[in-house]
């Protein structure tokens, strides 16, 4: 759940959720999903289908879980400050998919690189990171929308970065991800990036070998 009020926040959250869900293949859904920055109400986790689902956010209770109709835990939520946290509270190679939806813009570059390195560590080889973040074009527009209560002024005021595609790719490489394993596109009239990144076969959280060739396939959604 987004903090503060914005008339369009629910619609925008649904759009992010729809785009992210479409980027996750069925073959990975039998594993574990981790949604970093899931919010107090984990919309994406509630809507997507996975064998096991975990969420991290500073707004959730220390440990919380939602139950399905049979009383089984379907989502485990863990209190974690994405903006200032360090080591992710999970083992190496534990998740088939990690999502970061509208999270990049809330974290400074140094912390973002460290977080991406941790994401790579907890992803299984062949696992996938899916993220969304506003484009530079959207930055000024969002501030204007916040003034007329279309989006949350609290959330917009906490944006720390607004990255171009080239800057996103650079940060991803610094975090250990291969540029040749990334697919990029836009949604909401080119106001948002989406990126799907596959972890290479290297074990654990070690850095991937850097590549000078940027093989980014771009798509619109």
Distance of CA 6 to the CA centre of its chain: 21
In contact, 83 and 61? CB cutoff 8 Å: no
Choose the weakest-confidence range: 8-22, 114-128, 198-212: 198-212
In contact, 178 and 121? CB cutoff 8 Å: no
Indicate the domain borders of the chain: 9-220
Superfamily holding 9-220: Vaccinia Virus protein VP39 (3.40.50.150)
Rounded to an integer, the average pLDDT of 165-173 is 95
With a CB cutoff of 8 Å and minimum separation 6, the contacts of 130 are 20, 23, 24, 97, 98, 99, 100, 101, 194, 195, 196, 197
Read off the pLDDT band of 199 (50, 70, 90).
Answer: very high
Across the chain, what does the average pLDDT equal? 84
Which of these, 207, 199, 162, 163, lies nearest to 181 by C-alpha position? 199
* H or E stretch at 116: helix 109-122
The token duo for 90 is: 């999970």
Task: Compute the distance between CA of residue 112 and CA of residue 117 in angstroms, rounded to an integer.
Answer: 9
Distance of CA 82 to the CA centre of its chain: 11
Q: Which residue bears the tokens 């139950």?
A: 67
Read off the pLDDT band of 70 (50, 70, 90).
Answer: very low
Q: What is the pTM of this model?
A: 0.84
Q: What is the pLDDT of residue 121?
A: 97
Which of these, 49, 76, 44, 72, lies nearest to 60 by C-alpha position? 76
**35-59 pLDDT per residue, tens:** 999 987 889 999 999 999 999 998 8
Beta-sheet strands, E only, within the chain:
32-36, 52-57, 63-67, 73-79, 95-101, 123-134, 182-187, 192-198, 217-220
CA atoms within a 13 Å half-sphere pointing along the CA-CB vector of 56: 22
**95-116 pLDDT per residue, tens:** 999 999 999 999 999 999 999 9
Instruction: Provide the Cα torsion 163, 110, 38, 51; round to 10°.
Output: 100
Q: What is the pLDDT of residue 203?
A: 40
With a CB cutoff of 8 Å and minimum separation 6, the contacts of 158 are 106
Decide if pLDDT at 215 tops 80.
no
């Amino acid at each position: 759940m987004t903090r503060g009020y914005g008339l369009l926040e629910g619609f925008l959250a649904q759009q992010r959720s729809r785009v992210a869900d479409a980027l996750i293949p069925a073959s990975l859904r039998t594993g574990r999903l981790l949604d970093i920055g899931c919010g107090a109400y984990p919309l994406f986790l509630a809507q997507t289908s996975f064998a096991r689902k975990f969420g991290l956010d500073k707004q959730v209770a220390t440990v919380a879980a939602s139950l399905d109709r049979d009383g089984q835990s379907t989502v485990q939520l863990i209190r974690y400050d994405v903006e200032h946290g360090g080591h992710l509270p999970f083992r190496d190679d534990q998740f088939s998919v990690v999502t970061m939806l509208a999270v990049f813009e809330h974290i400074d570059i140094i912390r973002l690189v460290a977080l991406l390195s941790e994401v790579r560590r907890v992803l299984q080889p062949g696992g996938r990171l899916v993220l969304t973040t506003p484009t530079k074009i959207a930055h000024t527009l969002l501030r204007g929308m916040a003034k007329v209560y279309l989006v949350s002024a609290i959330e917009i005021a906490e944006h720390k970065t607004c990255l171009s595609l080239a800057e996103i790719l650079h940060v991803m490489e610094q975090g250990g991800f291969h540029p040749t394993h990334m697919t990029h596109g836009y949604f909401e009239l080119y106001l948002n990036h989406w990126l799907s990144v596959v972890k290479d076969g290297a074990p654990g959280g070690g850095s991937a070998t850097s590549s000078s060739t940027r093989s980014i396939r771009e798509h619109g959604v």
